[in-house]
Amino acid sequence: MTTISDPPKQQFRLSMLLYDTRYRSATIQVLAMFFFMLLAAWLISNTVQNLANLGKPISFGFFSDPSSYDINQRLLEYTSRDSHLRAALIGLLNTLVVAVLGCITATVIGVLVGVLRLSNNWLVARIMTFYVEMFRNIPVLLWIVFAMAILIESLPSPRDFRGDTPSATMDLFDTVAVTNRGVYIPEPLFSRSLGDVHLLGDSSLRFDVSLDLIAILVVLGCSIYAMRKVSARANRIQEQTGERPTIWYIELGILCVPMLILLVILGFHLGYPALKGFNFSGGIHLRNSLIALWLALSLYTAAFIAEIVRGGILAVSKGQSEAAAALGLRPGKIMRLVILPQALRMIIPPMISNYLNLTKNSSLAIAVGYMDITGTLGGITMNQTGRELECVLLLMLVYLTISLCISGVMNWYNKRVKLVER
């Protein structure tokens, strides 16, 4: 009688790491990683040794030294007696301001231009095409310098607002002053302010957080949460009865009434700019360097976003719009409710790259004197201290971190809007 038994297990041998396909790929990857780490260790060791021989060992102690230079546009309190670390923080905040404003503005303009490029109106479509081709085929640095030149040369100077018959006047009921030194807008003030919270004491990274702003954000967050609850209730009623109740006035009241009550309690009022001496004082001063950089980056990036939006819309089947039209929807609602939601799944991934490019292109701010992280840490601080390697490495780390954060947020949103197969 014959019995069938399992074949004996093959004993492991070192030669199997190269000749056995089960282990070969892992062996190659481990060896590649090992040699890469050896190369990186050699480069780092060689760099450190050479710097030590030159009398410049790697050190970040220069961050505590006084910066001895001013920053004209800033969000936090800063003087030339503050440290280089404080100056780098101010520059980082300036970079984030331009990146956030630029991404928002470029998205709005890009979506509008992308939709209008598909318009049946021949003139509108050709104007949008001209805009796209003109902006995306000229280097962004030229647009930044060009925008700065227009703001300086075409806008009136503060002295034009003086006299009994001034040649220039303030806009929006004498609340906004547009000059060749920048734009002055009203400043939000509170007569019964809750005060500020001082974080990190007297360190270089210190900053004040307004309790008024925290209160406004808390009330706004609670209002949005309540609005979502009301909308969810309306959705349940619609699913049960087929009719959706009118809730827009309820949502508007939830959003506005608590905020108005809070603003009255805090004594909200506006501080308006006024001409005193040879310049305006009061209000918020938006310098021309910030405005030029913001406009140039937004218009330049919007040209690329417009093409992405146009391609995403064309990728949606034409039958979708025909079916929506057969249901009686108008062209505007077809685009907003049917086409764009489906096109988003194809628009979002390439838009991530444009947001990253806008953030990195903000490093060209030094061309118009806007002090961002490149102008502070990678410019004046590096020149004053002579710490090229430390400043460049930190600058690379900052941009890498910002880019990864943008990618993470956009990838999270992309996962939320993508189609889920059943």
Domain ranges in the chain are 63-162+287-417
Running DSSP on this structure, what letter comes out for residue 175?
Answer: T
- The three-class DSSP label of residue 163 is coil
- Angstrom distances, CA of residue 39 to CA of 24, 29, 275, 308, 389: 23, 15, 62, 41, 19
- The three-class DSSP label of residue 345 is helix
Q: Which two tokens stand for residue 395?
A: 């600058």
Q: Give me the pLDDT at residue 221, please.
A: 95
Q: Give me the pLDDT at residue 7, please.
A: 60
- Angstrom distances, CA of residue 310 to CA of 26, 87, 122, 132, 374: 44, 42, 16, 11, 34
Mean pLDDT of 43-62: 84
Q: CA 305 to CA 358: how far, in whole Å? A: 11
Task: Give the β-pairing of 182-185 and 268-271.
Answer: unpaired
Q: Which two tokens stand for residue 13?
A: 């041998």
pLDDT tens across 63-93, in order?
989 999 999 888 888 888 999 999 999 999 9
Share of the chain above pLDDT 90, in %: 52
pLDDT tens across 117-161, in order?
988 899 999 999 999 999 999 999 999 999 999 999 999 998 888
Q: Which residue has the tokens 């509170």?
A: 190
Closest CA to 77 of 185, 202, 172: 202
- Angstrom distances, CA of residue 274 to CA of 186, 191, 296: 10, 19, 29
Residues 6+ apart with CB under 8 A from 184: 176, 177, 273, 280, 282, 283, 284, 285, 286
Q: Give me the pLDDT at residue 250, please.
A: 92
Q: CA 300 to CA 142: how far, in whole Å? A: 11
pLDDT tens across 274-328, in order?
888 788 888 899 999 999 999 999 999 999 999 999 998 888 888 888 888 888 8
pLDDT of 165 over the 60 cut: yes
Q: Which position has the higher pLDDT, 212 or 238?
A: 212
Share of the chain above pLDDT 70, in %: 96
Kindly indicate the confidence band of residue 3, based on its pLDDT and cuts at 50, 70 and 90.
low
Q: Give me the pLDDT at residue 422, please.
A: 47
Reported as type and span, the H/E element at residue 179 is: strand 177-179
Running DSSP on this structure, what letter comes out for residue 176?
Answer: B
Answer whether 46's CB lies under 8 Å from 31's CB. no
* 3-class SS letters over 273-328: CEEECCEEECCEEECHHHHHHHHHHHHHHHHHHHHHHHHHHHHCCHHHHHHHHHCC
Q: Give me the pLDDT at residue 13, please.
A: 75
Kindly indicate the confidence band of residue 44, based on its pLDDT and cuts at 50, 70 and 90.
confident
- The three-class DSSP label of residue 155 is coil
Q: Give me the pLDDT at residue 209, please.
A: 84
Task: Give the β-pairing of 274-276 and 268-271.
Answer: unpaired
Radius of gyration of the chain (CA): 29
Q: CA 349 to CA 417: how far, in whole Å? A: 11
Instruction: Give the number of C-alpha atoms closer than 13 A to the C-alpha of residue 270, restricted to the C-beta side.
Output: 11
Mean pLDDT of the chain: 88
Q: Say which CATH topology domain 63-162+287-417 has.
A: MetI-like fold (1.10.3720)
Closest CA to 266 of 219, 209, 197, 207: 219
Q: Report the amino acid identity of residue 386.
A: G
Mean pLDDT of 397-409: 92
Kindly indicate the confidence band of residue 272, based on its pLDDT and cuts at 50, 70 and 90.
very high
Q: Which residue has the tokens 């410019």?
A: 379
Closest CA to 74 of 394, 361, 375: 375
Q: Give me the pLDDT at residue 199, please.
A: 80
pTM greater than 0.75 (yes/no) = yes
Q: Which two tokens stand for residue 249?
A: 């006035």
Q: Give me the pLDDT at residue 2, please.
A: 54
pLDDT tens across 187-206, in order?
999 999 988 888 877 777 77
pLDDT of 5 over the 70 cut: no
Length of the chain: 422
φ/ψ (deg, to 5) at 210: -75, 125
Residues 6+ apart with CB under 8 A from 37: none
- Angstrom distances, CA of residue 359 to CA of 92, 136, 304, 372: 12, 16, 14, 11
Mean pLDDT of 318-346: 84
CB environment 183-220: b (16+ within 10 A), e (fewer): bbbbeeebeeeeeeeeeeeeebeebeeeebeebbeebe
